[in-house]
Amino acid sequence: MECEIPTVNEDPKKIKEIFESVKTIAIPGLSPDENKPSHRVAKYLKEQGFKIIPIYPKGDEILGEKVYRSLEDIKERVDMVDMFRKASVADELVDIIARRNDVKVLWLQEGIVNNKAASRAKQMGLKVVQNRCAMIEHMRVMNS
């Protein structure tokens, strides 16, 4: 496994602005397994009042929300995409985001870095966060 250092990342001071502007978060890789980080983070975000949209290859419902197979299948507005997948998936995700006109933030969870995809997303006008946990960052900026 190759480790990549994030060269494209939002200024940590702007993360609070992200959470204040976002209402709906699509979560590729949201697992139904309560022990997985994706499940814990999504549950936390939902408890904080965000509308979460699970994207997972199996099942009909996670955390009481309808499961979609792809970001392309979601018809409602999505403000942020919070990805829990392999870094290489971010390239395809940015392609899909480019075909939508609603996503404003691409968030790659802790341990996930894809500078090529992040750079493309930035060029499209998105805010980009890599290698950070949305739950930890939300706790940090909203409780300080």
Structural domains present in the chain: 12-142 (3.40.50.720)
Q: Is the model's pTM score more than 0.85?
A: yes
Position 1 pLDDT exceeds 60: no
Give residue 144's pLDDT band: very low, low, confident or very high (50, 70, 90). low
Distance CA 31, CA 123 (A): 30
Cα dist from 10 to 57, 106, 119, whole Å: 30, 10, 11
Pairing of strands 80-83, 24-28: parallel
Greater confidence (2 vs 91) lies with 91
Distance CA 72, CA 15 (A): 26
Give residue 105's pLDDT band: very low, low, confident or very high (50, 70, 90). very high
Of all helices (H) and strands (E), which one includes residue 107?
A: strand 105-108
- Interval 97-105 mean pLDDT: 97
Distance CA 121, CA 7 (A): 13
